[in-house]
Each structure stands twice: as structure tokens, then as C-alpha cells.
């Protein structure tokens, strides 16, 4: 049995090369064929100890994803968080405000490369006050895999962390004298690179709802100024990466039943985070005026109508709302009676009339003209006088007359016609503009 043990030891000595003790010390755990974290290394047994000094080691080096999960298989598009827990296992320390440097190195395969080939991929400083004897401290550095030259899907890589390292090669004793100088580096944290595709980032999805006329109106008169309001909701899982604009359109009898742009307005991206509702509106002071033509109209509002954001669905950005446009009530001025008083060719005659508002709307102030024609005018209509009426409500009448009177032109006697026309300057919008005049006859003696 003793001979077999000797033979086995001789065979192992022939298969495993003799370890060389660099400044990283002896490895206490080699995880060949298995990705995982790295741990502290043991000092070189040939090294002379220096009691009473600090002794800095990397107790553990491990890898986490951006969610804080410790894993060792990463897609090439992901960032790796390299974590190193350093510890002072010596009897002494360094000044509280002094820095001690930690470096991370990337190598191929399961074993660290020679120091002339390993790649430094991060470094950080720790204050001396965080590494008193037996005290630990953790540092973190990010490694963006897609930025590493030559890194490919299927690769196996490893990370080694070294404390008190100020040079990538030939570091010597480092910055600080220690009880051991050969145990500053960890063993290898091994990871692999996979081909898992990068997931699509969550997208926003804008919908519009509750479109309506402002001020709780449900219908309009033709020619009205009006506003529209709408709720814009991001019901997608992602936030909006930028601001968007929302359009407002109408169509109906006054647009030839074709969509007509009324206005648009904007929403900032911080107003449209996932699940948020933003209330937008255009007021009736914006200048939107409904056409005069009455009938059924449709309003439409579309979020992100300029397609500034790629959404989960592009087919649900719009909503519609229908409302009626009514003919606006108008006044209708009608002369119900016309006459002339005691007209003598050498004296002043007085025309007079009753005017009534037979419409549905108030008629504000307007002016009326008197004209005559006959022997003294060469039988052509000539201006004779004018008069003013302040206002007339629906079904209200007013008696008007020539207060000072007028003489017959050229003082010629005979039969004359007198015409009175109300609202001669078109100050009042009427439902019938064709019944504003009346004519009567009188004899001038």
C-alpha cells in the first residue's frame, strides 16, 4: 500500500507543474470548470513575515448584475458589477485619511493571465479609517462587457482583485509595508459570456380619452369660438423618452366632411410616465372658431401625432367626440307701418314708421334711412333723412320719426314716394336681409 501512495505522488508531481509564487501569493481554491466567486489567497510560505504591520487581503471577489443578483453567466450587452470585500488581517493600520488602491483585472479562461497580459478594468480607493485591524470594506466597479475588445459570446473570463496595488506589473511591496506582501490578490472570479438577446426596453403607449368641448358645452352655435379638452394617458409599461404633441381636428358640414386641423399642444416627458394621465386643452380664446354651417360635427384628438415616440401600439392614439352645431339665433328687423305727416312743398315734412324685431336674437343699435323720389327729384331716389334706434329685443317694436322734418326738394308739388330702410349699414345680422325696406306715397301740396 505504501508503494502505491509513493507512485501516486510521483505521478501527480509529473502532471501538475510546480507553482511559482508571484506577488499574488498561493491560491487556496481552484474552481476549474465551474464559474463562481474568488476568495483570499494564502501568503507565499517562503516570505518573511513582518509582525505589527497591516496585512491587506481581498477576502472575496464576486460579480453581480445591475439588479444586485450574484450570477456568473452574462449576456454580452450587460454591465457586470465587480465587488471586492477587502480586509486588514494584520496588527497595524494606515492613517485615517490615507488612500489604499484596489484594482480589478480581467483575464482569459479560468486562471489569471501573466501580469504582462492581464487587463485592468477598474480601480478604486479606500480610506485608511475603513481598514483598521480586522475591519472589512467593500468596493464596487462596473464592467461594460460590450466595450471590451475581443470579448465574444461563449468566452470564459475571470476577474482578480488586488489591494495595495499601484502598478499593473512589478508592483513590488506596493504603497504600504505589510506583514505579508504576497497575499494582496484574490483568486479568480470566473464567468462566462452567453448569447441571450437583449430584451426590448419597455415602451410607452399613449391613448386619448374623455375628449369634449370646454366649459361643459355639448353643442355650439355656428361661428362660436370654442375649446376642446382631452386626457392623455400612458398605459404602457415604459416612460415616455421625450415630450409629445397632441392634435385637435374637426370635420362636419362646414369642412366638407374632411378633417381640418384646429390646433395642437405639447406635453413634457415627465408628465407622461407610465400610468400617468395628463389633462390637456385648447381654450376658446385660442382662436378656434366653428364654421357657420349647422349640423353634426366630429372632433378628434390624437396623442403623439408626429410619431416622436415608438409605442407598444400605434393604433390607439386617437379618440373622437360628436356634437351639434346649431344655426345662431338672429334678429329680423321688419317695418310694420310707414307714413308721412302733413307734407307741404314749402314746409318741412315728417316721415315716420314702426320697426319690429321678429327674430330670435337681440338687435343692437342700428340706423335707418329715408329716401324720396318725385317731381322735385327728377323721379330718382335721393337721400332725405336718417334716424337711429338703440336696440330691439325679440318681439319688441320701436316708433321712429323725422324729428326736425325735411322740405320737399325744389319745392315742387305732386305725388312722391318715400322709402324707409332699416339697418342700412348692416350692423345687425338678420335671418332675412330682404325685408328691411318699405315704401309709401304722399302728395305734396
pLDDT, one tens digit per residue, over 89-121 is: 999 999 999 999 999 999 999 998 888 889 999
What's the pLDDT tens digit per position in 142-192?
999 999 999 999 999 999 999 999 999 989 899 999 999 999 999 999 999
Tell me what pLDDT residue 287 has.
73
User: Per-residue pLDDT tens for 356-378?
Assistant: 999 999 999 999 999 999 999 99
Give the mean pLDDT of 253-272: 96
Residues belonging to the chain: 445
Convert the pLDDT of each residue in 379-415 to its tens digit.
999 999 999 999 999 999 999 998 888 888 888 889 9
Confidence grade of residue 25 (pLDDT, cut at 50, 70, 90):
very low
Q: What's the predicted TM-score (pTM) here?
A: 0.56
**How far apart are the C-alpha atoms of 186 and 118, rounded to whole Å?**
14
CA pair distance 344, 420, nearest whole angstrom: 19
pLDDT at site 363: 95
Over the chain, what is the mean pLDDT? 90
Asked if residue 121 lies in contact with residue 105, where contact means CB atoms within 8 angstroms, the answer is yes
b/e for 30-41, b at 16 or more Cβ within 10 A? Answer: ebeeebebbbbb
Helix/strand/coil for 423: coil
Q: Residue 410: its pLDDT value, please? A: 87
> In whole angstroms, what separates CA 163 from the centre of its chain?
47
User: Pseudo-torsion of CA 312, 314, 319, 320, nearest 10°?
Assistant: -160
Per the structure block, which three cell numbers stand in for 430? 338678420
Sign of CA dihedral 46, 48, 52, 55: negative
pLDDT at 343 over 80: no
Least Cα distance to 56 among 110, 107, 99 occurs for 99
Q: What separation in angstroms does the CA of 96 have from each of 51, 57, 91, 132, 265?
A: 20, 18, 15, 9, 58
- DSSP E strands in 174-303: the ranges are 189-194, 206-213, 219-221, 228-234, 244-251, 260-267, 277-282, 295-303
Tens digits of per-residue pLDDT, 141-154? 999 999 999 999 99
Amino acid at each position: 500500500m505504501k508503494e502505491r501512495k509513493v507512485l501516486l505522488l510521483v505521478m501527480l508531481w509529473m502532471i501538475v507543474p510546480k507553482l511559482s509564487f508571484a506577488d499574488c501569493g498561493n491560491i487556496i481554491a481552484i474552481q476549474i470548470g465551474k464559474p463562481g466567486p474568488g476568495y483570499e489567497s494564502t501568503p507565499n510560505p517562503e516570505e518573511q513575515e513582518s509582525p505589527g504591520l497591516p496585512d491587506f487581503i481581498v477576502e472575496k471577489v464576486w460579480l453581480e448584475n445591475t439588479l444586485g443578483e450574484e450570477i456568473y453567466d452574462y449576456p454580452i450587452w450587460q454591465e457586470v458589477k465587480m465587488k471586492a470585500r477587502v480586509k486588514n488581517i494584520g496588527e497595524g493600520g494606515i492613517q485615517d485619511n490615507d488612500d489604499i488602491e484596489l484594482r480589478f483585472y480581467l483575464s482569459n479562461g479560468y486562471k489569471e493571465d501573466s501580469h504582462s497580459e492581464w487587463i485592468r478594468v477598474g480601480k478604486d480607493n479606500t480610506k485608511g479609517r475603513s481598514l483598521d485591524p480586522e475591519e472589512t470594506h467593500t468596493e464596487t466597479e462596473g464592467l461594460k462587457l460590450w466595450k471590451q475588445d475581443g470579448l465574444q459570446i461563449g468566452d470564459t473570463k475571470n476577474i482578480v482583485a488586488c489591494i495595495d496595488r499601484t502598478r499593473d506589473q512589478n508592483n513590488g511591496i506596493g504603497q504600504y509595508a505589510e506583514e505579508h506582501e504576497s497575499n494582496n490578490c484574490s483568486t479568480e472570479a470566473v464567468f462566462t459570456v452567453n448569447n441571450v438577446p437583449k430584451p426590448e426596453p419597455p415602451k410607452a403607449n399613449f391613448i386619448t380619452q374623455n375628449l369634449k368641448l370646454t366649459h361643459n358645452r355639448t353643442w355650439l352655435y355656428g361661428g362660436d369660438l370654442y375649446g376642446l379638452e382631452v386626457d392623455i394617458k400612458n398605459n404602457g409599461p415604459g416612460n415616455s423618452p421625450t415630450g409629445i404633441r397632441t392634435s385637435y381636428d374637426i370635420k362636419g358640414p362646414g369642412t366638407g366632411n374632411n378633417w381640418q386641423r384646429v390646433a395642437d399642444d405639447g406635453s413634457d416627458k415627465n408628465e407622461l410616465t407610465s400610468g400617468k394621465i395628463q389633462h390637456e386643452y385648447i381654450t376658446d380664446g385660442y382662436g378656434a372658431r366653428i364654421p357657420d354651417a349647422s349640423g353634426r360635427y366630429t372632433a378628434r384628438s390624437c396623442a403623439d401625432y408626429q410619431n416622436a415616440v415608438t409605442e407598444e401600439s400605434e393604433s390607439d392614439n386617437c379618440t373622437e367626440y360628436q356634437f351639434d352645431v346649431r344655426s345662431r339665433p338672429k334678429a329680423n328687423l321688419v317695418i310694420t307701418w310707414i307714413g308721412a305727416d302733413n307734407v307741404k312743398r314749402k314746409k318741412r315734412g315728417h316721415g315716420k314708421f314702426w320697426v319690429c324685431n321678429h327674430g330670435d336674437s337681440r338687435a343692437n343699435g342700428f340706423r335707418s334711412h329715408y329716401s324720396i323720389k318725385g317731381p322735385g327729384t327728377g323721379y330718382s331716389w335721393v337721400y332725405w333723412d336718417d334716424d337711429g334706434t338703440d336696440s330691439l329685443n325679440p318681439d319688441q317694436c320701436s316708433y321712429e320719426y323725422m324729428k326736425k322734418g325735411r322740405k320737399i326738394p325744389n319745392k315742387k308739388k305732386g305725388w312722391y314716394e318715400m322709402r324707409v330702410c332699416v339697418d342700412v349699414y348692416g350692423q345687425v345680422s338678420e335671418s332675412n336681409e330682404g325685408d328691411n325696406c318699405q315704401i309709401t306715397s304722399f302728395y305734396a301740396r
